[in-house]
Structure 1
Amino acid sequence: MKKILSFVMLAIALGSCSEDVKFNNEAVFQGVKDNLFWRGQDANAVKSGNVLTISASTIIEHMSLKVPVPAVGIDPKNSDTHVKYPLGTSLTRTASYDFINDLGDEFFYETAIGVGDGEVVISEYDGVYVSGTFRFNAHNTDPESEAPEIVNVQHGTFYRIPVINEP
């Protein structure tokens, strides 16, 4: 009887040691916009010629990053291979944000040469997926607008965004 009881106790102890592991490999595009968490849906990256546009949207907001297409083979474990793109210094490296308010008015913010600042860092790119980080301060494109003059995005992350090749 002791052997059977010992076997049952051992079976219960070993059976309760399992762990269900779930992986979340969905594309992520998120950050802290004006000190509030922001997460976009339908994140995608479109490669058109030598330009890579990474973007995501909510129901009333859209955020996008445009950078030159990085070289294939960036090693996510080696920060020396990561590609950094400063914003506010070029028309080929930009960030933009737009939203629609309750009245249906649309407001646009962007970086350009001498307008806004920030940085996009590509930490993984293999031609199929792109990952990295970003931050930026984009200016309102309409000086007559009643919307805030600047939108600030910090701690931005995009992870395993699928790259679509556009002809």
Structure 2
Amino acid sequence: MKKLILLTLVFVTLFSCGDDVEFNDPAFQGDRENELWRAKAYSASISENGFLTITGINNAESVHLKVPSITEGTYVVGSVNTISADYVDGFGVTYSTTNRPDESVSLYPELGEIVIEEIDVTSKTFTGTYRFLAFDESGLNSVGFTNGIFHRVPLISGEIPNNATTCVDAQIAADDAAIAYSAAVSTDLEFINSAEYATACANYKDALIMKQTFCGDETGSIQTIIDNLGDCQIACDQAIANVTEAESQYVTATIGNFMDKCAQYLLYLEDQIAICGDADGVIQAKIDALDCGDDDADSIPNAFEDFNGDGNLENDDTDGDGIPNYLDNDDDGDGILTIYESKDENGNPIDTDGDGDVDYLDNDDDGDGILTINENADPNGDGNPDDALDTDGDGVPDYLQPA
């Protein structure tokens, strides 16, 4: 049975092992393994991403304290790599709180903390305390610092930002991203859109990483959420559910919404292939069979221009002008372009005279025995009846008003 080594950080008073800790102004010192360690040189630097490093150097040895925000507060080391304490000994060996202890090593208490007590913006100095237990790369050897103090350490590189990001900022951002993510997977949605889900998921992961960076993650709960989000791709089961719903809406679509529903169905079929695969080619065959187009741009989808239902669009020519309906922008040859023929609020054609032929297929729209083309429906001949004759001035043009 492997013997566990118990490493304990003993936090002693400011005076330990007979060495008096003296305040210099500025100063950087602490008890290394219960013996006073005092830096001969000290400095602070701020990187371009706003991270602060406070360094103390004693000949070949050095201590580096790193935190991700230029704000006063307590930063627990060891939970994330952006909050760390490193010690480099005289032989160049680095001991870091980012190195995890070997599984044979038990820790008590946690790896330590860095406390920024004061940031003097005028003099650009930093004051605070630290304690930490750091390991070498093997995770078996450690160095502990207690009673660490840095006092008025000067900033020599970078600038103190006016509005530094804080843990509170990171928490708010993570909460907002969580709300957006929840909305993207809500059970109230008809579809879980893969692109929208991927964006919301990626944003949530980024916000959680930011929260880790600025707040730490002692319990690992944030990392667990990140891991559970995976690659931010919806599951195959959800992709299939999307297709099922899209197909249902597609087969019940009307002229007014067909192209939207067809495009939607196509989108989710393509998603299904991308997410689930299509080994037997069945999904691709469905895609190939779809016709979401409107070749003559008359607002009547091609799929609705096959009146005899034989699957051949070429032999449907309502007005007999030699141009099949799917290529004819005036299907009934009444001089009014199909796109301008009467429709309801949903974009579906209507039958003004109730004779069973919708207006775009009826060359006598009002059923008064006078062909629409002979009722001055389009005096300027541009196919748009916005200038149609209205003899009685009642707001209804003659070609839509029975005699």
TM-score by length of 2: 0.29
CA contact (8 A) 1:90 1:113 kept: no
User: Does the alignment pair 1:152 with 2:120?
Assistant: no
Q: Displacement of 1:142 after TM fit?
A: 4.0
Question: In the alignment, which of 123, 134, 139 is matched to residue 135 of structure 2?
Answer: 139
Q: Displacement of 1:113 after TM fit?
A: 7.3
**1:83-162 alignment runs, 5 A limit:** 83-101=73-91, 106-112=92-98, 117-127=111-121, 128-142=124-138, 149-162=141-154
CA contact (8 A) 2:51 2:70 kept: no
Q: Which amino acid aligns with 1:84?
A: T
Q: Give the aligned partner of residue 30 of structure 1.
A: 29
Question: In structure 1, how many angstroms separate the alpha carbons of the residues matched to 2:99 and 2:142?
Answer: 16
Structure number having the greater helix percentage:
2
Q: CA 1:63 to 1:25, structure 2 compared with 1: closer, same or farther past 3 Å?
A: closer
SS in 1 for 2:39: strand
| Residues 109-160 of structure 1: CA deviation (Å, up to 9, x unaligned) | 00127557110011101330100000000001246xxxx7110100000000
SS in 2 for 1:122: strand
Q: Displacement of 1:48 after TM fit?
A: 1.1
Question: In structure 2, how many angstroms separate the alpha carbons of the residues matched to 1:85 and 1:132?
Answer: 11
Q: Which amino acid aligns with 2:148?
A: G
CA contact (8 A) 1:117 1:138 kept: yes
SS in 1 for 2:133: strand
CA contact (8 A) 2:115 2:129 kept: yes
Structure number having the greater strand percentage:
1
SS in 1 for 2:118: strand
Q: Displacement of 1:107 after TM fit?
A: 1.2
Percent sequence identity over matched residues? 33
Question: In structure 1, how many angstroms separate the alpha carbons of the residues matched to 2:99 and 2:76?
Answer: 11
Q: Displacement of 1:32 after TM fit?
A: 0.3
Q: Which amino acid aligns with 2:94?
A: F
- For structure 2, the residue ranges without an aligned partner over 5 or more in a row are 1-22, 102-109, 160-403
Question: In structure 2, how many angstroms separate the alpha carbons of the residues matched to 1:58 and 1:25?
Answer: 15
Matched residue pairs, number? 126
Q: Displacement of 1:166 after TM fit?
A: 2.9
Q: Which amino acid aligns with 2:135?
A: H
User: Higher relative CO (CA 8 A, sep ≥ 6), structure 1 or 2?
Assistant: 1
CA contact (8 A) 2:99 2:134 kept: no
Question: In structure 2, how many angstroms separate the alpha carbons of the residues matched to 1:51 and 1:126?
Answer: 17
Question: In structure 2, how many angstroms separate the alpha carbons of the residues matched to 1:121 and 1:159?
Answer: 12
Question: In structure 1, how many angstroms separate the alpha carbons of the residues matched to 2:155 and 2:129?
Answer: 16
**1:29-68 alignment runs, 5 A limit:** 29-49=28-48, 50-68=50-68
SS in 1 for 2:89: strand
Q: CA 1:98 to 1:139, structure 2 compared with 1: closer, same or farther past 3 Å?
A: same
Q: Displacement of 1:60 after TM fit?
A: 2.3
Question: In structure 1, how many angstroms separate the alpha carbons of the residues matched to 2:41 and 2:90?
Answer: 18
Q: Which amino acid aligns with 2:57?
A: S
Larger Rg: 2
Q: Displacement of 1:42 after TM fit?
A: 1.1
SS in 2 for 1:100: coil
Q: CA 1:153 to 1:52, structure 2 compared with 1: closer, same or farther past 3 Å?
A: same
Moved over 3 A (4+): 113-116
